[in-house]
Structure 1
Amino acid sequence: MRSIKILSLATLGALALSSTAFAQESGDTASGKHFAVVGGVALLQPKDNPAPGLDKFDGGPAPTLSASYYFNDNIAVELWGAADKFDHRVRADNVGKVGTVEQQPLALSAQYHFGAADNTFRPFIGAGYYESNFSNEKIDGLSANGDHVGVETAKGAIGTLGLDMNINATWFARADARYMHARPELRMAGAGTGQDLKLDPWTVGFGIGARF
């Protein structure tokens, strides 16, 4: 039920952001258009065993939005982020669930889109920088003394692989995968512990976009 709600929100976001493009006459070519917006949904999955004693941060879905500026038909810069928070259940070795935490990434990337703008399929690659804020940490079960346990903001490099499928000169469908190098520090009672969480999550996303 929650996934259906997220998908509905993502679709509404894409339609809302793309209303300007929809209102314009579509024309007969995608070439020369400088702006694109995409609304979709992504599944984020951190790696297993991120720290000694920790089994995993369960993955989950969230709606995503992106806006791109194309310097030409092949080179673009993209601002991408989660429109809502990814929820994670935290599991410890031999214990099971010890709490929950949320995160919301935001990234700025340069991209190269292969082929002509009007090709039906256009693969692309990207690299850039991201930050992901963790909030609503309820993982105090990791502390023997019951101190509050938090996770600092993750930041670092992000890489993207994607494929656009042109529907017409304005509309396209997108599938992408993103890797974030995430090593946030685990904090206890407001102080650093020196223990980095090797989360390094992947996202797999699908969306609908418009260019204008």
Structure 2
Amino acid sequence: MRIHQTLALLGTLAITPVAFAQDALSFGTSTGKNFAVVGGVALAEPTENTWIGDESRLELDGSNAATLSASWYVNDHIAVEAWGAASKFGHRVNGADGKAGSVDAQPYALSAQYHFRPADSLLRPFVGLGYYEQNFDSETVEPTGALTGQRLGVETAKGAMATAGVDVALSPSWFARADARYLSGDSDLYLDGETVGKAKVNPVVLGVGIGARF
């Protein structure tokens, strides 16, 4: 995990208990709060391999990044969420002989969610379905390896995103979140500007974070 992301999350976790402890003394309720923001970190782990043509096979390593989301609650159970990576997932590209290059990925998505149980419950599971796009950039190749001497390009991936998670109430306004997102879709893969196949990653993104509802 990148050190600046780790320190940022630890800092958030350090100050959050003071904030929600003060809030808890108000004996308020989560019911009727229409907006929420969540900051956290996530691990993106590809579930598919990337193929070039019929002979060369490439695989992407997992990577982590900071994430942010903002939600509008239509009511206590239905929400519309905008979610994305606040920093980029830096994936290592591996070939048969080791590292072949690297590529950065930055997904963002819009989805509808259903939150189970009453708003003031300690544990509130939720599910969601939406649409995402994942931009790829900073493609590089190693001086020696499967892609040596070639220019790598990966087109933006687009498709459906499914979400499942749970919120743990810390106070009427603060909560902790853990979620899993599955991003389904592929994109064109280029070498020296020519389409040579499909980049099919279909990552599972596992995240944790701290949220505020107001």
- TM-score, structure 1 length as denominator? 0.87
Cα shift at 1:81: 0.5
Cα shift at 1:67: 0.4
Deviation string for 1:92-131 (max 9, x for gaps)?
12x1110111011001010000010000000000010111
CA distance in 2, matches of 1:180, 1:98: 24
8 Å CA contact 1:40–1:63 kept in 2: the answer is yes
Aligned to 2:77: 74
Query: What SS does structure 1 have at the residue aligned with 2:50?
Result: coil
CA distance in 2, matches of 1:211, 1:40: 15
Cα shift at 1:167: 0.7
8 Å CA contact 1:14–1:38 kept in 2: the answer is no
Aligned equivalent of 2:59, options 56, 61, 64: 56
Query: What SS does structure 1 have at the residue aligned with 2:72?
Result: strand
Cα shift at 1:205: 0.5
Question: Superposition pairs for residues 23-172 of structure 1, below 5 Å?
Answer: 28-51=28-51, 53-93=56-96, 95-139=97-141, 141-143=145-147, 146-172=149-175
Aligned equivalent of 2:189, options 181, 186, 189: 186
CA distance in 2, matches of 1:13, 1:149: 38
| Residues paired across the two proteins, number | 205
Aligned equivalent of 1:176, options 168, 175, 179: 179
Evaluate the alpha carbon distance shift between residue 97 and residue 42 of structure 1 in structure 2; reply closer, same or farther with a 3 A threshold. same
8 Å CA contact 2:186–2:202 kept in 1: the answer is yes
RMSD between superposed Cα atoms in Å = 2.5
CA distance in 2, matches of 1:161, 1:9: 25
Deviation string for 1:43-86 (max 9, x for gaps)?
00112533253242001111100000000000000000111000
CA distance in 1, matches of 2:58, 2:153: 17
Evaluate the alpha carbon distance shift between residue 84 and residue 15 of structure 1 in structure 2; reply closer, same or farther with a 3 A threshold. farther
CA distance in 1, matches of 2:14, 2:6: 12
Cα shift at 1:143: 4.2
8 Å CA contact 1:180–1:202 kept in 2: the answer is yes
With 103-112 and 42-51 compared, the bigger mean Cα shift is at 42-51
CA distance in 1, matches of 2:71, 2:9: 17
Amino acid at match of 1:8: L
